[in-house]
A and B are shown apart, each in its own frame.
Chain A
Amino acid sequence: MEKSLVTLERGTVCSAWNYCGQRLATGSDDGTLTIFDSRDPASSCSFTCTSKSRVHETSIVKVVWVPPEYGDAVACVCMDGTVSLWEEVVEDAQPLQWKLCKSFKSNSAKVLDIQFGISSTSLKMVAAYSEGHVKVYELLDSLELKNWQLQAEFQNVIESVSTFSKALCLSASISWNPQRGESQESSFVLGFNSDTPQLNSSKVWEFDQAHQRWLPVAELALPEDKSDQVYAVAWATNIGRPYEVIAVATRKGIAIWHLGLDPDADGRLSVEKVAMLSSHEGEVWQMEWDMSGMTLATTGNDGVVRLWQSNLNGIWHEQASFEPSS
């Protein structure tokens, strides 16, 4: 049933697989970025370490792969709140190496989460900061990961009149709409785990092409739950459903939301909470949808991996769970 793919070194704290599952990037507490590769496309069982380099002074807390259209590159989110982009390239006569392309530094606020999304024209990176701000960067040059432009900066609130300057956020979770249609505007969902109730609830942000700005088009929280701290969000792949499915984890459990496709007169999308799943007895670490968007895998504080599905009648339930043991 299970087989071991890779053994990780001491101090490894995070990992990420690339788009085709043939490369694994891991980050460790001493700032080392390690890459494991499977050279044989027919089997994904032999992975060897092909690169290991110290990329930062402090611990790497999260590794995210850049979409393959932009090369073999990863973004490392570090403990001190900086983000650095590293890319595997061959330059001139030099051998293959991982090179630093860009470092995003911020004076006071730390980056909590980043995610890349592809819009019809360019690569975008959303970063959520510890003081509650959201920044969207746009790549200026499709062949180099050096030049980024800050496209927008906003707070995760529906009504933009008020700003919260002293927010303290522990974590944030971002998930892009996986749809890559040319016609579709890019959108993502974002939620905070913070001390400021208004920032917490997950909101769906969509880029308004006409006015070149990001607009909140939906809020995924019932009125009584709006201040709940959000641990994780995950936008499901949609291979043809007439609605979108998004999972939102809070301390109350994992909520499954249906999001309408057509905006109303105010530009808002209809939302419906279709399930509330009680899970992991505490913080949810991560949620991932499978490639058909029908099965949700989650993991959290209890260390168990759980799989969730909806049955024929639209009732969500836990289908299976995997309990780790040594």
Chain B
Amino acid sequence: MLGVASDPGDGASVSGAGALVPFLPEARGPVVYPLHHGLKPPIARVAISWARGNSLRVSFFRRASGDGSDGDEVGGKVLEVRLNNGDGDISDAQLRRVAYGSVSPFAVLQSRRNSVASLSKISSPYHVEWWEYVMDYSKDINSLLGNPKSLPSPAIEDPQAVLQKVEEPTCLKAAWELMEVFYADKLSQAWLPERLVDWLTDYDSLLSSTQATIHLKVVDFQKELVTLQVIEDNTKYWEVISSALAVGWLDVVVKMLRLHGSYLLDQIGNRETENGLVEAVAVLISKMPRMRPALESGKLGECYKAKPDFIKAWEKWRAQITKLESSAFWVHCDHHRTREGLRNMLQIMLGNINSLCTATCHWIELYISHFLYIRPFTVGLESMYSLAKKCMQLKPMTSSHTLIGLVIGILGDNTEVVLAECSRSFGPWMVAHALELLTAGSDEAETLLQEERYNLGGISIEELHRLVYAQVLSLDALTWQLAPIYLTSCMKQGMGLLEILLSKQPVQHTQILLKIIEICRIYELDSISSNIMKIAGVYHWKHGRKGSGVFWLQQARDEVRLNRIALQLFDSVGQSISDESFKQWEGLIELLGSDSKTAGGLEFLRKYRDFKKSLKQVNDGKTTDVAQQAVESLISLMKNPSTPQRFWLPLLYDSLKLLSWQERPLLNVSQTNLLLNKVQELSMARLRPDFIEAELPPQALGGVRLALATNLGRAILEEK
């Protein structure tokens, strides 16, 4: 499936090559992976075969030493290599859940696209409300990726727990939210910087895997907290506070400030000024104006929806900070660390670049602090990108992280890079679904992704990625049934791939067969469906289940094979009518049902069966009425053009009793003439070299002819 199906022992992962997406714009060398077959060398030969989806099966054959002296009985190994990749921090089962969950939002969005396109005369379906649909979709997908805020808060709050406990976030979700912010959520464009502040609050912890982060600092300090006696004497306390302030974790900051020793009851008397200053800073922080419609409960700041109101409040707030900064109370603050710490915080709030640089750990944190304290009005991708570049120079990252490439791609407005990063880091699921966000982002991106390309065989990038994802889905017996949803959203090649996918399912398993037939019915793939039923029919026929075999061949309307089977049945039943095998094939004919008009040969068999039944009753000593019925069956059989000629004589021979019925002639003149003509035809046919002689006594024909002649005489007399 989507995840890296890796052996936990060797830790090898296929990320990178796995996506098998031929689109990385920059030329990169092939990724080399080891394949452990565990065989003793030398290997004589390697064979390959693609299995369903994009898993590759590799056979290794050892070169056998002539004398067999090495004593190794193992001559080779067959390995399956799964060429899919995905986000390493998500399990297979979880990704499967995501795959199942994302089908419905995806299908709904596609059907909305179709209806919007058919309603509007404008060529582009993306009129005003389109992004709202995309936003619905994005929210549905996002909720599948986990909810970091879902953990219930404990009943009794630990006063020293500065960080809220949350579910472990995933890079996949972080990436999705980032794209949602930039591409889909047009409502929040006005307060994009604040959205980024929130994003970093949720996901700074992810970056800790590769470098120092403020989150890591806070977590470490949290551990130390219980052992600290006089917290304000600790330099780390002030460091952590200013770092958290720099990236806008105001609730954390205020909570930590209130741990300050001057709040203790026994100290408040002699540290009144100090405590006043701490509280003043805490109040200022909690009153910070925020350019956003609302804040989650527990988060601090004052929200302003309209820009003019915000600017006014911002300037007022800054004036208050400046006032506090230059206040005379600082002189009376005896505690050196507190004084310095608080003043540093004021510098951060005033947007002092040096203080911000010191307080932050990497460029994204510095970037966020710019939005908070230096340039809260930054708008437009271009200025955001230049700001990002500046921050990267000031505070480069110590090592790369999967999310960073994506961030840079988005800020740089480079759709191809975004796509490449999505594919490289998060795999085909992400790309196939994120494309909806990207195409909603801008007209340029839409054109780029939906333009048909000759080099891709006439499909667009969007279609390519859906095809790739469908292939990944079809890899797994548990998910292949989802693939049709994605394939049918592909205009050009989806149906072609769907046909191949369906043709590669093991049809000997009835449940799978029924599922395939159902899919074929939905998507009107009649020829595939009949071919698959044909395969099933042949399979059952050849494996001794003749009834199922005939049933499926009938479903497939495979005239050629059914006629062939009919011939085979004739061979087994035609030798003599009194054959004991009657019961065996009678059941088979019963199975065919009465509505099977598909094969003339089988039609004959059914009539033949009816005839045999009444003949049997006649032999059991039943009345003239029954005998009359048997004659009707005989005539209808002999009239039917599908009755093979070689059956004529055995049929007539078996009916001798009817032809010379004691009480009265059962055949009228015209019926007798018909049969006599057939006998005549038979005599002529006997002269031809290809005539098949029935296994009957040599005088059979003569006997029949005599009986018919006698009957004719009696019938003529009767009719007179």
Scan B57-99; emit 1 where CB is below 8 A from any A CB, else 0: 1111110100010001111111111110000000000000000
In angstroms, Cα B493 to Cα A12, docked, is 39
Query: Do the beta carbons of A5 and B57 come within 8 Å of each other?
Result: yes
In angstroms, Cα B334 to Cα A253, docked, is 81
Asked whether B259 is an interface residue with its Cβ less than 8 Å from the other chain, the reply is: no
Question: Of all chain B residues, which has the CB nearest A293?
Answer: B457
Query: Do the beta carbons of B506 and A295 come within 8 Å of each other?
Result: no
Query: Do the beta carbons of A291 and B504 come within 8 Å of each other?
Result: yes
Query: Do the beta carbons of B477 and A1 come within 8 Å of each other?
Result: no
In angstroms, Cα B74 to Cα A7, docked, is 7
Query: Do the beta carbons of A291 and B471 come within 8 Å of each other?
Result: yes
In angstroms, Cα B17 to Cα A96, docked, is 43
Total A-B residue pairs with C-beta atoms closer than 8 Å?
Answer: 297
- Determine, out of A156-164, A221-229, A237-245, A262-270, the stretch whose residues face the partner at the interface: A237-245
Query: Do the beta carbons of A182 and B39 come within 8 Å of each other?
Result: no
Query: Do the beta carbons of A295 and B496 come within 8 Å of each other?
Result: no
In angstroms, Cα B23 to Cα A317, docked, is 11
Query: Do the beta carbons of A71 and B539 come within 8 Å of each other?
Result: yes
Asked whether A11 is an interface residue with its Cβ less than 8 Å from the other chain, the reply is: yes
The residues of A that contact B73 with a CB separation of less than 8 Å are: 9-10
In angstroms, Cα B345 to Cα A67, docked, is 76
Query: Do the beta carbons of B48 and A299 come within 8 Å of each other?
Result: yes
CB distance from A307 to the nearest CB of B (A): 7
Given contacts A44-B80, A291-B500, are A299 and B538 in contact (CB under 8 A)?
no
Given contacts A8-B74, A312-B456, are A182 and B35 in contact (CB under 8 A)?
no
Partner of B33, one of A182, A303, A323: A323
The residues of A that contact B41 with a CB separation of less than 8 Å are: 326
Asked whether B46 is an interface residue with its Cβ less than 8 Å from the other chain, the reply is: yes
Scan B367-393; emit 1 where CB is below 8 A from any A CB, else 0: 000000000000000000000000000
Query: Do the beta carbons of B48 and A297 come within 8 Å of each other?
Result: yes
CB distance from B544 to the nearest CB of A (A): 3
Most chain B beta carbons < 10 A, residue from A47, A290, A310, A322: A322
Query: Do the beta carbons of A12 and B560 come within 8 Å of each other?
Result: no
Asked whether A119 is an interface residue with its Cβ less than 8 Å from the other chain, the reply is: no
Asked whether A168 is an interface residue with its Cβ less than 8 Å from the other chain, the reply is: no
Query: Do the beta carbons of B50 and A307 come within 8 Å of each other?
Result: no
Asked whether A79 is an interface residue with its Cβ less than 8 Å from the other chain, the reply is: no
Query: Do the beta carbons of A305 and B48 come within 8 Å of each other?
Result: yes
CB distance from A322 to the nearest CB of B (A): 5
Given contacts A6-B78, A9-B75, are A1 and B504 in contact (CB under 8 A)?
no
Asked whether A88 is an interface residue with its Cβ less than 8 Å from the other chain, the reply is: yes
The residues of A that contact B478 with a CB separation of less than 8 Å are: 42
Given contacts A291-B471, A305-B46, A321-B30, are A2 and B35 in contact (CB under 8 A)?
yes
Query: Do the beta carbons of A143 and B30 come within 8 Å of each other?
Result: no
Query: Do the beta carbons of A1 and B81 come within 8 Å of each other?
Result: yes
Asked whether B565 is an interface residue with its Cβ less than 8 Å from the other chain, the reply is: yes
Given contacts A15-B78, A317-B30, are A2 and B36 in contact (CB under 8 A)?
yes
Query: Do the beta carbons of B80 and A2 come within 8 Å of each other?
Result: yes
Query: Do the beta carbons of B54 and A290 come within 8 Å of each other?
Result: yes
The tally of residues in B whose CB lies under 8 Å from a CB in A reads: 106
In angstroms, Cα B25 to Cα A311, docked, is 7
Asked whether A89 is an interface residue with its Cβ less than 8 Å from the other chain, the reply is: yes
The residues of A that contact B6 with a CB separation of less than 8 Å are: 1
Partner of A285, one of B45, B459, B497, B539: B45
The residues of A that contact B64 with a CB separation of less than 8 Å are: 10-11, 29
Asked whether A150 is an interface residue with its Cβ less than 8 Å from the other chain, the reply is: no
Asked whether A43 is an interface residue with its Cβ less than 8 Å from the other chain, the reply is: yes
Scan B26-49; emit 1 where CB is below 8 A from any A CB, else 0: 010011111111111101111111
Partner of A324, one of B46, B57, B541: B46
Asked whether B190 is an interface residue with its Cβ less than 8 Å from the other chain, the reply is: no
The residues of A that contact B68 with a CB separation of less than 8 Å are: 10
Scan B511-538; emit 1 where CB is below 8 A from any A CB, else 0: 1100000000000000100010011001
Given contacts A5-B79, A182-B527, A321-B32, are A14 and B47 in contact (CB under 8 A)?
yes
Asked whether B4 is an interface residue with its Cβ less than 8 Å from the other chain, the reply is: yes
Query: Do the beta carbons of B504 and A7 come within 8 Å of each other?
Result: no
The residues of A that contact B79 with a CB separation of less than 8 Å are: 2-5
Given contacts A69-B531, A89-B542, are A322 and B50 in contact (CB under 8 A)?
no
Partner of B72, one of A10, A303, A312, A323: A10
In angstroms, Cα B506 to Cα A68, docked, is 10
Which residues in window 450-497 of B have CB below 8 A to A? 453-459, 461, 467-468, 471, 474, 477-478, 492-493, 495-497
Question: Of all chain A residues, which has the CB nearest B85?
Answer: A1
Asked whether B543 is an interface residue with its Cβ less than 8 Å from the other chain, the reply is: yes
CB distance from B272 to the nearest CB of A (A): 66
Question: Of all chain A residues, which has the CB nearest B10?
Answer: A1
Query: Do the beta carbons of A320 and B54 come within 8 Å of each other?
Result: no
Asked whether A131 is an interface residue with its Cβ less than 8 Å from the other chain, the reply is: no
Which residues in window 2-29 of B have CB below 8 A to A? 4-7, 10, 12-14, 16-17, 20, 22-25, 27
The residues of A that contact B209 with a CB separation of less than 8 Å are: none
In angstroms, Cα B46 to Cα A299, docked, is 7
CB distance from B432 to the nearest CB of A (A): 14
Given contacts A11-B75, A15-B78, A285-B47, are A323 and B34 in contact (CB under 8 A)?
yes
In angstroms, Cα B22 to Cα A291, docked, is 15
In angstroms, Cα B80 to Cα A169, docked, is 33
Query: Do the beta carbons of A44 and B561 come within 8 Å of each other?
Result: no
Asked whether B56 is an interface residue with its Cβ less than 8 Å from the other chain, the reply is: yes
Partner of A320, one of B32, B50, B51, B75: B32
Query: Do the beta carbons of B455 and A312 come within 8 Å of each other?
Result: yes
The residues of B that contact A28 with a CB separation of less than 8 Å are: 75
Query: Do the beta carbons of B23 and A311 come within 8 Å of each other?
Result: yes
Asked whether B277 is an interface residue with its Cβ less than 8 Å from the other chain, the reply is: no
Asked whether B362 is an interface residue with its Cβ less than 8 Å from the other chain, the reply is: no
Given contacts A241-B457, A314-B455, are A2 and B81 in contact (CB under 8 A)?
yes
Partner of B501, one of A13, A91, A291: A291
Which residues in window 205-263 of A have CB below 8 A to B? 237-243
Which residues in window 262-304 of B have CB below 8 A to A? none
The residues of A that contact B82 with a CB separation of less than 8 Å are: 1-2
In angstroms, Cα B553 to Cα A142, docked, is 12
Query: Do the beta carbons of A8 and B500 come within 8 Å of each other?
Result: no
- Determine, out of A16-24, A106-114, A186-194, A195-203, the stretch whose residues face the partner at the interface: A16-24
The residues of B that contact A43 with a CB separation of less than 8 Å are: 477
In angstroms, Cα B511 to Cα A14, docked, is 32
List 14 A–B pairs whose Cβ atoms lie within 8 Å, in order of A's numbering: A1-B7, A5-B80, A8-B61, A12-B76, A20-B506, A22-B506, A44-B80, A69-B535, A90-B544, A240-B457, A295-B20, A305-B56, A320-B16, A321-B30
- 19 new A-B pairs (CB below 8 Å) besides A9-B74, A317-B27? A2-B35, A4-B79, A7-B78, A8-B59, A9-B75, A10-B74, A15-B49, A20-B506, A68-B538, A72-B539, A90-B542, A297-B48, A303-B43, A307-B17, A311-B24, A320-B14, A320-B30, A322-B32, A323-B33
**Partner-A contacts on B (CB < 8 A):** 4-7, 10, 12-14, 16-17, 20, 22-25, 27, 30-41, 43-54, 56-62, 64, 68, 72-83, 453-459, 461, 467-468, 471, 474, 477-478, 492-493, 495-497, 499-501, 503-507, 509, 511-512, 527, 531, 534-535, 538-539, 541-544, 560-561, 564-565, 568
**Partner-B contacts on A (CB < 8 A):** 1-17, 19-22, 24, 26, 28-29, 41-45, 47, 68-72, 87-91, 96, 141-143, 180, 182, 237-243, 285-286, 288-292, 294-295, 297-299, 303, 305-307, 309-315, 317-326
In order of increasing CB-CB distance, the 6 nearest A-B pairs are A239-B496, A90-B544, A8-B76, A320-B17, A314-B455, A241-B457
